[in-house]
A and B are shown apart, each in its own frame.
Chain A
Amino acid sequence: MDKIIEMLLQLHPDLDVECDSLVDDGILNSIDVVTLVTEIFNEFDVTVPASEIVPENFNSASAIWEMVSSLMDE
């Protein structure tokens, strides 16, 4: 989870880490999402499938972490 927050802060240093509407508020743009998926791959060795690349899974640090955790369990 800390790693996810670190990734988000690298993209947006002034980001509110508690924010739960990162996509809905347009804070994360498409390049950010692309970068996050790349970073998740590099850090956790997990390829995020298309079915998981949905706004709900990127709206908050905890949502991203939940997605990564469940993908790692598979």
Chain B
Amino acid sequence: MKNVLEYLENTLPSSASKVCYRDKKTSVTFEEVYTDARSIGTFIARKTGGRRVPVVVFMPKKVQTVVAFLGAAYSGCYYVPMDSEMPASRIELIFGNLRDFIIIADKSATAAIEKMGYSDRSYLYEEAAECDIDDSLLAGIREKQIDTDPLYIVFTSGSTGAPKGVCACHRSVIDYIEQLSKILKVDKDTVFGNQSPLYTDACLKEIYPTLKFGAQAVFIPKMLFSFPVRLIEFLNGYKINTVCWVASALSIVSGLGTFDTVRPEHLRTVAFGSEVFPIKQFNKWRAVLPAARFINLYGPTECTGMSCYYEVDREFAETDAIPIGRPFDNTEIILLGDDKKEVAFGDVGEICIRGTCVTHGYYNNPEKTAECFIQNPLQNNYPELIYCTGDLAKYNEQGELVFVSRKDYQIKHMGYRIELGEIEIAAGIMQNVAMTAAIYLKDKQQIILFYTGDTEKDDLLAYLKEKLPRYMIPADIVKLAFLPQTANGKIDRVTLTKNYTEQLTRTEE
């Protein structure tokens, strides 16, 4: 197998009339996906004249967007998901990075595209999907393609500076989907409930296993993640049995007491990742779904999605962290110290990843690529790139990998090396504290802690003074009803920091 489209083509005979993808408005069968994607593929191939260029898919979260991704693959090109939710300045930077590209858009994006002056290379989805299919053209394209050709570029949020476009090939995605499907135990009866935006790598988890197994993926409207009772009712209504969500999306549901009103009825697999799942919230999910499998996933976009997994097999105390476990099959994790040597068992090191999952790097950005995609420092006999994640981890006594923190969450404060995550976990253990986030203001040399829940901040402060060494006590504690989130649902520390410093400036004035 060398092309992800083979998943669709192999499944088609047995699943043609089955619903493949669904959103709140429409659904498409495997047959429709196959037909429309090949129409779009033919259309794009005629427009590009056979050149392999990025195809920007500028569409909101709906089933046609995924069909357009597959259409780009049929044309031998690679897709770049883009959503009008992204800030205009970021979109401009992405277009600048791509240089030569064409756009497939729906009507909602045409105004924005016109404003940026790209109308001459932009085509409507509806027009592309109506194109007559040219089978021999598509067959010729496929014959020339190899599995290291790119499938997509997704741009990472890049907390500082310009967005970086991670470029992944068919072979990496196939490797990922094969391993992930085994871990999630996907089969034809799987109904995914997708949470992540389509412009992140996270949605690979639903898009491709659905094609491989003739399963079904439901794209949940983003709005529902603000209305947790309705969200669970939606899961029940569509008999969704498998979710892979960021931990904070799960935490909001349990933290607001949603299960007093409604319970998920069909969920059998709950995968979570991208951030630490507070045990208190996790245990509420486990109590409400005693028969479900809970799987922690960890991995960077630069290695095609997820690279490590841990299926929960024991009880966790509130002071524990859920391990990230072990690498996927066909992937190796190396923990490197600052000296680029492997650390001793039990010591903290940077997670570095080796395997087919390692992507091609950042599109049109050799400098940034060279910073994190490096020659494996453990051998110098032949070229071999590994990816350095910037995440710190260690092995626990059971030999499982445990995430420690981002390299940049590790701060130096009053001469001590502090993990902000440790402060968050300590505060999160207190009764009636739901979610926590700690930031460090470098210029003021202050730790600030934000939390949600029913506890008063003086009580929380008193509690922390009992639990933490003095140098880890926050200079200020702020109670919020909700913690702000980024587009893909992680706690937005940048906004927390910005809001806090702005308020500080206002008070000082």
A interface residues with partner B (beta carbon < 8 Å): 23, 26, 29-31, 33-35, 37-42, 47-51, 53-55
Contacts and interface: CB of A to CB of B under 8 A. Distances in A.
B222 A50 contact: no
A40 to B, nearest CB: 7
Contact of A38 (B225, B256, B258, B482): B482
Contacts of A29: 222-223
B258 A34 contact: no
Contact of B227 (A26, A39, A41, A54): A54
B261 A23 contact: no
B179 interface: no
A30 B480 contact: no
Contact of A50 (B225, B257, B484, B485): B257
Most buried by A among B228, B256, B257, B261: B256
A47 B481 contact: yes
A35 B483 CA distance: 9
A54 B227 CA distance: 5
A37 B480 CA distance: 9
A42 B481 contact: yes
B341 interface: no
A33 B256 CA distance: 14
Nearest to B492: A31
A49 B222 CA distance: 20
B481 A37 contact: yes
B482 A23 contact: no
A53 B225 contact: no
A53 B454 contact: no
Nearest to A54: B227
Given A23-B223, A50-B257, A54-B227, 15 more contacts: A29-B223, A30-B225, A31-B484, A34-B481, A34-B485, A35-B484, A37-B481, A38-B482, A40-B481, A50-B228, A50-B229, A53-B228, A53-B256, A54-B229, A55-B227
A1 B480 CA distance: 22
A33 B226 contact: yes
Contacts of B482: 34-35, 37-38
Interface string B220-248: 00110111111000000000000000000
A41 B479 CA distance: 10
